[in-house]
Amino acid sequence: MNILLLGSGGREHALAWKIAASPLTERRYCAPGNAGVAQECELVALDVAEHAAVIAFCRANDIGLVVVGPEAPLCAGIVDDLTAAGIRAFGPSKAAARLEGSKGFTKDLCKANKIPTAAYERFKAAAPAKAYVQKCGAPIVIKADGLAAGKGVVVATSVAEAEAAIDMMFGGGLGEAGAEVVIEEFLEGEEASFFALCDGETAIPLVSAQDHKRVFDGEQGPNTGGMGAYSPAPVMTPQLSERAMNEIVLPTVRAMKAMGAPYKGVLYAGLMITAQGPKLIEYNVRFGDPECQVLMLRLMSDLVPALLACCDGMLKNFDLRWYPDAALTVVMAAKGYPGNYAKGSVIEGLDRAAEIEGVEIFHAGTKAEGGKIVANGGRVLNVSALGKSVAEAQARAYQAIDRIRWPDGFYRRDIGFRAVEREKAGR
């Protein structure tokens, strides 16, 4: 089968690497990809927003499966358009992608189906939103309804900060995404990422993973797309995973089917593990980046039949096998990220870094130029490793990083610290 992958980040390199390991694939393409993806797929200069061009490419190249990495094309309905053209595509329809595309939609779905989540209200104007904040007090969480590239959530520690966020969003600071706002209760606990493959009817959980959102060590500094991840996440015990499936994921799959928008693809539930159990913070309608990188390292089964089973409604009797090893990935980012950063600096030492046992380097924002690898984005590399424990995977990843010469990059030194502490304590 010929496969077309859409996207350009570390997530897509990890997917490409795993897809390339499948004996079911013949020719593999990726649009637009990056220098790492180019090791696994032929890169094609397609504009993913031009659905007609993507369809024409699929027809011309006999594509049997399109795998959509990021959320924007999903929310724009690329799976609907491909499906209508008779081309199989992994990912939810536009209607089902509202689980990520509209926070208000998801909150209402939770309320109607008794899915545990933070108490909330939806607002279309600043004055009633501020009145609600004054009534509830701080801490409180202000969220833009639409897609805001990770900038749409403000966890306000004071009423004044909450009001400033409301003014920013209704003042157009996030464009259309902020035309409606959700205000919700602040949840206390440890966060965990929970993933399930869905085929419209049923769902199967993937192994647990955890990412680090803040830019600096010790969870300091602004939020980012993710500075590292590891799997398993010890906070997600088997009991909690079962509760997350039964109380959150499966009721969502049933509700989406009942409203005529069956959910197919991977569903990523951002959870807060509270004293009362898991509560939904948000849904994403695609693999997390960088969680996908550690999931793909641990997946023993062929990924391609799993993706096909999601598309074809065949998950019911499907089974995934995983390596027992732990996996960890450290993001190397361009200095200045998540703010302004420069592109074009040269990265060296990748081959020697990849020689370390268990190490796999996924590219995120890179491009090949004159035989060299140069930085081409904010998050640039995902230095990843397998190990018998999170501690061993962590040690290998940092050993690999020490062999990479990239003076314009930086990274966190403490990825996986909670899991390593738990391992040390023997829990």
Binding site for ligand AMP (CB under 6 A): 118, 141, 153, 155, 184-187, 191, 213, 270, 281-282
Shortest distance, CB of residue 154 to ligand AMP, whole angstroms?
8
Helix, strand, coil share of the chain (percent; to 5): 35, 30, 40
Please report, for residues 73, 82, 168, 337, 403, the alpha-carbon distance to residue 368 in angstroms, rounded to integers and kept in the order given: 25, 30, 39, 21, 19
Q: Two tokens at 229? A: 């991840």
Closest to ligand AMP by CB, 225 vs 409, is 225
Q: What minimum distance in Å lies between the beta carbon of 69 and ligand AMP?
A: 18
Residue 273 vs 315, nearer CB to ligand AMP: 273
Count of beta carbons in the 10 Å neighbourhood of residue 413: 14
231 or 366, CB closer to ligand AMP? Answer: 231
Identify which of residues 157 and 237 has a Cβ nearer to ligand AMP in the complex.
157
Q: Closest Cα partner for 172 from 139, 141, 148? A: 148
- In which region does residue 390 sit, left (phi positive, over 0), alpha (psi from -120 to 50) or beta (all else)? alpha
* DSSP letters spanning 102-136: -HHHHHHHHHHTT--B--EEEESSHHHHHHHHHHH
Nearer to ligand AMP, 225 or 358 (CB): 225
Query: Cβ of residue 143: shortest distance to ligand AMP, in angstroms?
Result: 6
Give SS3 for 215. Answer: strand
Question: What is the spatial distance between Cα 194 and Cα 291, in angstroms, rounded to a whole number?
Answer: 10
Shortest reach from residue 212's CB to ligand AMP, in Å: 10
CA distance linking residue 319 with residue 200, whole number of Å:
17
CB of 117 to ligand AMP, least distance (A): 8
* Least distance CB 119 / ligand AMP (angstroms): 9
Q: 77 or 270, CB closer to ligand AMP?
A: 270
Least Å from the CB of residue 369 to ligand AMP: 34
Q: In this complex, which beta carbon is closest to ligand AMP, that of residue 31 or of residue 141? A: 141
Phi-psi region of 349 (alpha: psi -120 to 50; beta: other; left: phi over 0): left
